[in-house]
Amino acid sequence: MLSGIVIDALDVARAERFWREATRGRTGGLVLRCVATTVPKAHKNRLHLDLAGGPAWKDEVERLLALGATRVDVGQGDVPWDVLADPEGNEFCVLRPGHPGVLADSGLVAVCLDVAEEDRPAQSEFWRDRADWRVVESHAWGVRLRREPTSTVSLVMGPPAAPKTGRGRLRLEVTRTDLTPGEMLDPAGNEFHVTT
C-alpha cells in the first residue's frame, strides 16, 4: 500500500516543519518523512506534491511564501496552479478551485510522478499493484489512482517527464509484507522505499 513520501533534506528539522505547516498536518493518511542528505538539489524532481489552494488560493500562496516557499518557473506557462518550491528547492504546486484533481479544500491532494507517454502503461500497472490503489481516470494528460474513488489524495502519473539525472529527492514509500524492505526502482528507474 502507498503509505508515504520520503523527502531528502539538508536541514531535516526545517523541512519537517515546513511540510507539516504547509499541509496543516492533513496528508490524507500519507506520512511525509524527511531524511538527512548532504547532497543539495541540482535538478527538477520527477515527483512532486500538489496542494489544494481552496477558494482563497491567493491567500494560501502568500501563506506558503511566508513559511519559506519561493515562486519557481519550471516552464509551466499559463496554468491553473501556482508552482512554488520548499526551502530546499523542491517544487510543489498550489491548485486553484476547479482543478480536476481537487476533492479537498486544503492540504495534500495529489502526488505527481513524471511519466513519459510510452512508459505510462507499465508505470500505471506497476503503481496500481504496489500502491494497492485503483485507476479512477485515464486520459491523454495521464493516469490518476486513488485508494478509493472519493479519497482526497491521488497519485497522478503523466507528462512532462523530467529526465532522470540522479537519485530522486522525493520518493514514494510503500508498506508491503511481500517485498524486501529497502530501496527499489520502478520500471522508469525512479527510486521508492519499501517498509514492512
Position of cell 516543519?
Answer: 17
How many C-beta neighbours within 10 Å does residue 125 have? 13
**Rounded-to-10 torsion of CA 174, 175, 179, 185:** 10
Instruction: Compute the distance between CA of residue 110 and CA of residue 179 in angstroms, rounded to an integer.
Output: 25
Render pLDDT for 109-158 as a digit per residue (tens, 0 to 9). 899 999 999 999 999 999 999 999 999 989 888 899 999 888 889 999 99
Cis peptide before 187 (omega within 30 of 0): no
Look at 108 and 178; give whichever has higher pLDDT.
Answer: 178
Render pLDDT for 150-182 as a digit per residue (tens, 0 to 9). 888 999 999 888 888 889 999 999 999 999 999
- In a 3-state reduction of DSSP, which class is residue 2? strand
Q: CATH 3.40.1190.20: does it fit domain 2-195?
A: no
| CA proximity to 76, closest of 94, 58, 103 | 94
